Amino acid sequence: MARLSPPPVEVYRGARENRAMFDRIAHRYDLMNRVLTLGLDGRWRRRAVAALGLAPGSLVVDLACGTGMLCNEAQRARLRCVGFDVAAGMLAHSHTSAPLVRADILRLPLADGGADGAVCGFALRNVGDIPGCLRETARVLRPGGRIGLLEVAEPENPILRRGHALYFRRVVPLVGGLLCDRDAYRYLPASASWLPDPAELLAMLRDAGFTAVERRALGGGGAQLLTGTRA
Protein backbone atom coordinates (compact mmCIF):
# COMPACT_ATOMS: atom_id res chain seq x y z
CA MET A 1 0.00 0.00 0.00
CA ALA A 2 1.35 3.45 -0.91
CA ARG A 3 2.45 5.50 2.09
CA LEU A 4 1.06 8.95 2.70
CA SER A 5 3.62 11.70 2.31
CA PRO A 6 4.50 13.50 5.57
CA PRO A 7 2.45 16.53 6.60
CA PRO A 8 3.34 19.52 4.42
CA VAL A 9 4.33 21.83 7.28
CA GLU A 10 6.15 20.55 10.33
CA VAL A 11 7.46 23.66 12.00
CA TYR A 12 5.68 25.66 14.70
CA ARG A 13 5.24 29.08 13.13
CA GLY A 14 5.49 31.14 16.27
CA ALA A 15 2.96 33.13 18.20
CA ARG A 16 2.73 36.17 15.93
CA GLU A 17 2.18 34.26 12.71
CA ASN A 18 -0.26 31.95 14.44
CA ARG A 19 -2.29 34.90 15.69
CA ALA A 20 -2.37 36.47 12.21
CA MET A 21 -3.58 33.15 10.77
CA PHE A 22 -6.47 32.91 13.27
CA ASP A 23 -7.40 36.54 12.60
CA ARG A 24 -7.56 35.65 8.89
CA ILE A 25 -9.80 32.60 9.26
CA ALA A 26 -11.96 33.87 12.15
CA HIS A 27 -14.95 34.77 9.95
CA ARG A 28 -15.34 31.15 8.86
CA TYR A 29 -13.89 29.37 11.91
CA ASP A 30 -17.15 28.07 13.43
CA LEU A 31 -18.47 26.86 10.10
CA MET A 32 -15.20 25.09 9.29
CA ASN A 33 -15.22 23.40 12.69
CA ARG A 34 -18.71 22.00 12.11
CA VAL A 35 -17.92 20.88 8.57
CA LEU A 36 -14.52 19.34 9.25
CA THR A 37 -15.55 17.48 12.41
CA LEU A 38 -18.75 16.36 10.66
CA GLY A 39 -20.72 18.13 13.36
CA LEU A 40 -19.10 16.15 16.18
CA ASP A 41 -17.30 19.03 17.84
CA GLY A 42 -20.45 20.19 19.67
CA ARG A 43 -20.77 16.80 21.34
CA TRP A 44 -17.07 16.78 22.25
CA ARG A 45 -17.34 20.25 23.79
CA ARG A 46 -20.31 19.12 25.91
CA ARG A 47 -18.27 16.10 27.08
CA ALA A 48 -15.37 18.38 28.06
CA VAL A 49 -17.61 20.62 30.15
CA ALA A 50 -19.48 17.70 31.73
CA ALA A 51 -16.17 16.00 32.61
CA LEU A 52 -15.31 18.92 34.87
CA GLY A 53 -18.11 17.78 37.17
CA LEU A 54 -18.48 21.26 38.67
CA ALA A 55 -21.50 22.65 40.51
CA PRO A 56 -23.67 25.32 38.84
CA GLY A 57 -22.25 28.79 39.35
CA SER A 58 -18.64 27.57 39.39
CA LEU A 59 -16.15 29.79 37.55
CA VAL A 60 -14.52 28.24 34.50
CA VAL A 61 -11.86 29.75 32.26
CA ASP A 62 -11.86 28.91 28.57
CA LEU A 63 -8.22 28.90 27.50
CA ALA A 64 -7.61 30.11 23.92
CA CYS A 65 -11.38 30.45 23.60
CA GLY A 66 -11.42 31.51 19.95
CA THR A 67 -15.02 32.41 19.10
CA GLY A 68 -16.24 31.18 22.48
CA MET A 69 -17.90 27.89 21.58
CA LEU A 70 -16.74 26.21 24.80
CA CYS A 71 -17.90 29.25 26.79
CA ASN A 72 -21.38 28.64 25.38
CA GLU A 73 -21.32 25.00 26.45
CA ALA A 74 -20.14 25.99 29.92
CA GLN A 75 -22.97 28.51 30.21
CA ARG A 76 -25.50 25.89 29.06
CA ALA A 77 -24.24 23.78 31.98
CA ARG A 78 -25.00 26.80 34.24
CA LEU A 79 -21.32 27.52 34.87
CA ARG A 80 -19.88 31.02 34.80
CA CYS A 81 -17.23 31.28 32.11
CA VAL A 82 -14.54 33.76 31.02
CA GLY A 83 -12.65 33.24 27.77
CA PHE A 84 -9.07 34.27 26.96
CA ASP A 85 -7.52 34.45 23.52
CA VAL A 86 -4.75 36.40 21.80
CA ALA A 87 -6.42 36.74 18.40
CA ALA A 88 -8.57 39.88 18.22
CA GLY A 89 -10.23 38.56 15.04
CA MET A 90 -11.42 35.40 16.78
CA LEU A 91 -12.82 37.43 19.67
CA ALA A 92 -14.51 39.83 17.24
CA HIS A 93 -16.31 36.90 15.59
CA SER A 94 -17.46 35.39 18.87
CA HIS A 95 -21.08 34.42 19.48
CA THR A 96 -21.26 34.24 23.22
CA SER A 97 -22.51 36.36 26.09
CA ALA A 98 -19.56 35.22 28.23
CA PRO A 99 -16.94 37.89 28.91
CA LEU A 100 -13.90 37.44 26.65
CA VAL A 101 -10.48 38.90 27.30
CA ARG A 102 -7.64 39.39 24.86
CA ALA A 103 -4.76 37.78 26.71
CA ASP A 104 -1.99 35.22 26.36
CA ILE A 105 -2.88 32.03 28.20
CA LEU A 106 0.77 31.66 29.17
CA ARG A 107 0.28 34.77 31.35
CA LEU A 108 -3.33 34.81 32.49
CA PRO A 109 -4.52 38.07 34.11
CA LEU A 110 -6.03 36.12 37.02
CA ALA A 111 -5.20 35.72 40.69
CA ASP A 112 -3.79 32.46 42.03
CA GLY A 113 -6.44 29.84 42.80
CA GLY A 114 -9.37 32.00 41.70
CA ALA A 115 -11.01 29.61 39.21
CA ASP A 116 -12.87 26.32 39.77
CA GLY A 117 -12.22 24.88 36.34
CA ALA A 118 -10.51 25.33 33.00
CA VAL A 119 -11.30 24.08 29.52
CA CYS A 120 -9.32 24.33 26.31
CA GLY A 121 -10.54 23.35 22.85
CA PHE A 122 -8.08 22.32 20.13
CA ALA A 123 -5.55 24.99 21.04
CA LEU A 124 -2.75 23.20 22.87
CA ARG A 125 -0.77 22.54 19.72
CA ASN A 126 -1.00 26.21 18.84
CA VAL A 127 0.60 27.22 22.10
CA GLY A 128 4.37 27.03 21.84
CA ASP A 129 4.96 26.04 25.46
CA ILE A 130 2.48 23.33 26.54
CA PRO A 131 4.10 22.59 29.95
CA GLY A 132 4.17 26.36 30.66
CA CYS A 133 0.51 26.65 29.70
CA LEU A 134 -0.45 23.78 32.02
CA ARG A 135 1.55 25.26 34.91
CA GLU A 136 -0.12 28.64 34.36
CA THR A 137 -3.53 26.94 34.37
CA ALA A 138 -2.66 25.11 37.58
CA ARG A 139 -1.71 28.46 39.12
CA VAL A 140 -5.15 29.98 38.52
CA LEU A 141 -7.13 26.91 39.65
CA ARG A 142 -8.05 26.33 43.28
CA PRO A 143 -7.03 23.03 44.88
CA GLY A 144 -9.61 20.47 43.71
CA GLY A 145 -10.28 22.57 40.57
CA ARG A 146 -10.73 20.65 37.34
CA ILE A 147 -9.20 20.84 33.88
CA GLY A 148 -10.59 19.48 30.59
CA LEU A 149 -8.52 19.67 27.43
CA LEU A 150 -9.81 18.74 23.98
CA GLU A 151 -7.34 18.04 21.24
CA VAL A 152 -7.00 16.21 17.97
CA ALA A 153 -5.56 12.69 18.15
CA GLU A 154 -4.65 9.71 16.01
CA PRO A 155 -6.82 6.58 16.23
CA GLU A 156 -5.05 3.50 17.62
CA ASN A 157 -6.76 1.11 15.23
CA PRO A 158 -4.44 0.88 12.18
CA ILE A 159 -7.27 0.99 9.63
CA LEU A 160 -8.97 3.95 11.28
CA ARG A 161 -5.57 5.55 11.63
CA ARG A 162 -4.91 5.35 7.93
CA GLY A 163 -8.36 6.69 7.03
CA HIS A 164 -7.91 9.47 9.54
CA ALA A 165 -4.48 10.40 8.11
CA LEU A 166 -5.95 10.56 4.64
CA TYR A 167 -8.80 12.74 5.85
CA PHE A 168 -6.58 15.01 7.90
CA ARG A 169 -3.81 15.45 5.36
CA ARG A 170 -5.80 15.48 2.14
CA VAL A 171 -9.49 16.24 2.71
CA VAL A 172 -9.10 18.91 5.42
CA PRO A 173 -6.66 21.07 3.38
CA LEU A 174 -8.80 20.64 0.27
CA VAL A 175 -12.13 21.53 1.89
CA GLY A 176 -10.47 24.19 4.06
CA GLY A 177 -8.91 25.72 0.95
CA LEU A 178 -12.19 25.76 -0.94
CA LEU A 179 -14.27 27.23 1.88
CA CYS A 180 -11.78 29.36 3.77
CA ASP A 181 -7.98 29.55 3.55
CA ARG A 182 -5.78 26.92 1.95
CA ASP A 183 -2.61 27.80 3.84
CA ALA A 184 -4.30 27.73 7.26
CA TYR A 185 -6.00 24.40 6.61
CA ARG A 186 -2.72 22.88 5.48
CA TYR A 187 -1.03 24.15 8.60
CA LEU A 188 -3.70 23.21 11.16
CA PRO A 189 -3.74 19.45 10.47
CA ALA A 190 0.04 19.45 10.07
CA SER A 191 0.39 21.06 13.49
CA ALA A 192 -0.89 17.81 15.02
CA SER A 193 2.51 16.32 14.21
CA TRP A 194 4.17 18.20 17.08
CA LEU A 195 1.46 17.48 19.62
CA PRO A 196 3.10 15.25 22.27
CA ASP A 197 1.75 11.70 22.38
CA PRO A 198 -0.97 10.87 24.95
CA ALA A 199 1.40 9.45 27.58
CA GLU A 200 3.57 12.57 27.38
CA LEU A 201 0.56 14.87 27.65
CA LEU A 202 -0.65 13.03 30.75
CA ALA A 203 2.86 13.26 32.25
CA MET A 204 2.90 17.01 31.54
CA LEU A 205 -0.41 17.37 33.36
CA ARG A 206 0.98 15.52 36.39
CA ASP A 207 4.17 17.60 36.35
CA ALA A 208 2.10 20.78 36.25
CA GLY A 209 0.34 19.78 39.50
CA PHE A 210 -2.69 17.75 38.42
CA THR A 211 -3.77 14.43 39.88
CA ALA A 212 -6.32 11.83 38.72
CA VAL A 213 -5.31 12.58 35.12
CA GLU A 214 -7.25 10.65 32.51
CA ARG A 215 -7.55 10.45 28.75
CA ARG A 216 -10.62 9.49 26.76
CA ALA A 217 -10.58 8.91 23.02
CA LEU A 218 -13.44 10.61 21.16
CA GLY A 219 -14.80 10.25 17.65
CA GLY A 220 -13.22 6.85 17.01
CA GLY A 221 -9.88 8.18 18.25
CA GLY A 222 -9.69 11.26 16.03
CA ALA A 223 -10.00 13.49 19.09
CA GLN A 224 -9.13 13.19 22.77
CA LEU A 225 -10.24 14.61 26.08
CA LEU A 226 -7.65 14.95 28.85
CA THR A 227 -8.88 15.68 32.35
CA GLY A 228 -7.31 16.19 35.76
CA THR A 229 -7.79 17.64 39.22
CA ARG A 230 -5.66 20.41 40.67
CA ALA A 231 -3.74 18.97 43.61
Ligand X SMILES: C[S@@+](CC[C@H](N)C(=O)[O-])C[C@H]1O[C@@H](n2cnc3c(N)ncnc32)[C@H](O)[C@@H]1O
Query: Which of 7, 19, 49, 208 touches ligand X (CB under 6 A)?
Result: 19
Written as one string, the DSSP assignment of 78-130 is T-EEEEEES-HHHHHT---SS-EEE--TTS-SS-TT-EEEEEEES-GGGSS-H
Give yes or no for residue 105 binding ligand X (CB under 6 A). Answer: yes
Residues in 175-214 at the binding interface with ligand X, rule: CB under 6 A: none
Give yes or no for residue 18 binding ligand X (CB under 6 A). Answer: yes
- C-alpha–C-alpha distance, residues 97 and 204, integer Å: 32
Q: Output 90 or 205, the one with its CB closest to ligand X.
A: 90
Residues in 59-98 at the binding interface with ligand X, rule: CB under 6 A: 64-66, 69-70, 84-87, 90
Give burial (CB, 10 Å; 0-12/13-18/19+) of 120.
buried
Q: Which residues contact 18 (CB under 8 A, 6 or more apart)?
A: 126
The single-letter code of the amino acid at 175 is: V
Q: Output 59 or 118, the one with its CB closest to ligand X.
A: 118
CB of 36 to ligand X, least distance (A): 11
Give yes or no for residue 172 binding ligand X (CB under 6 A). Answer: no
Length of the chain: 231
Q: Which residues contact 113 (CB under 8 A, 6 or more apart)?
A: 139, 140, 141, 142, 143, 145
CB of 33 to ligand X, least distance (A): 6
Q: Output 193 or 231, the one with its CB closest to ligand X.
A: 193
Q: Which residues contact 102 (CB under 8 A, 6 or more apart)?
A: 84, 85, 86, 88, 91
Query: Which of 126, 137, 227, 229 touches ligand X (CB under 6 A)?
Result: 126
**Contact window for ligand X (CB under 6 A) among 122-130, 135-143, 179-187, 219-227:** 122-130
The single-letter code of the amino acid at 2 is: A
CB of 6 to ligand X, least distance (A): 21
Query: Which of 61, 79, 123, 138 touches ligand X (CB under 6 A)?
Result: 123
Q: Output 59 or 65, the one with its CB closest to ligand X.
A: 65
Quick note: the x/- pattern for ligand X over 32-61, rule CB under 6 A, is: -x----------------------------
- C-alpha–C-alpha distance, residues 33 and 184, integer Å: 13
Binding residues (CB under 6 A) for ligand X: these are 18-19, 22, 33, 64-66, 69-70, 84-87, 90, 104-106, 121-123, 126-127
